[in-house]
Amino acid sequence: MTGRQILSLRSLLGRSKLINNLNSTQRLYGDCPPKDPPCPKEPSAEDVSNVKQAWCEVSRNKGCYGKAIFTEVFKKHPDYTTLFAKFGRCPTDILKNEKFIEHLKKNVIDTMGNLINKMDEDMCEAKTMAEEIGKKHVKLCVKPKHFENTEKIFIDVLKKQMGDKLSCEGGKSMDTVIKVIFKSLKKGAAGCDSC
């Protein structure tokens, strides 16, 4: 076999593997290649209304909900304590610090409530406000991944803490509304890669 024939054979085998890979992809996904996960859908007026109602419960117990959320955040991401170093050195110290609890009440629970209320009035303005909050976190070295990792914990803890106070429909609405807020927070914090 000559060198030219060997190259031709390799080329043919390479194309054959490519075709086989393409065929197996088509078997898995049909004619459409796999897509990125869908963006969170826009919350409906009913979604926002459901979450506003549920948020009344959260607002009545801000410290409990905030503490439950961040207990879980620190459990799953202990390195996040460095973002709150002014409140203590370890999760236990931070979560016992009254100034941290006040921070949670005002800067997490109340702010989230304000964003939810704003969604009811003007969705675009609510997203812009959330992006601005994300941008403000850049100077604190909060990166989009921090918001990404906190989002699911935030939703899961809220739903667990609320228990039967949150209907099935309310839970779905909570997912939709909170995901849209966190998407805007992440977008605002996107410039944090230099921290």
The tens place of each residue's pLDDT in the chain, 195 residues long, gives 555 554 444 454 444 444 444 444 344 334 444 444 444 578 999 999 999 999 999 999 999 999 999 999 999 999 999 999 999 999 999 999 999 999 999 999 999 999 999 999 999 999 999 999 999 999 988 999 999 999 999 999 999 999 988 888 889 999 999 999 999 999 999 964 444
Report d(CA 157, CA 122) in Å as an integer.
Answer: 27
153, HSE (Cβ side, Cα atoms, 13 Å): 19
Enter the pTM of the model: 0.75
Domains, in order of start, for the chain: 45-189 (1.10.490.10)
Buried b (16+ CB within 10 A) or exposed e, 64-97: ebbbbbbbbbbeeeeebbebbeebbeebeebbee
CA distance 153 to 116: 18
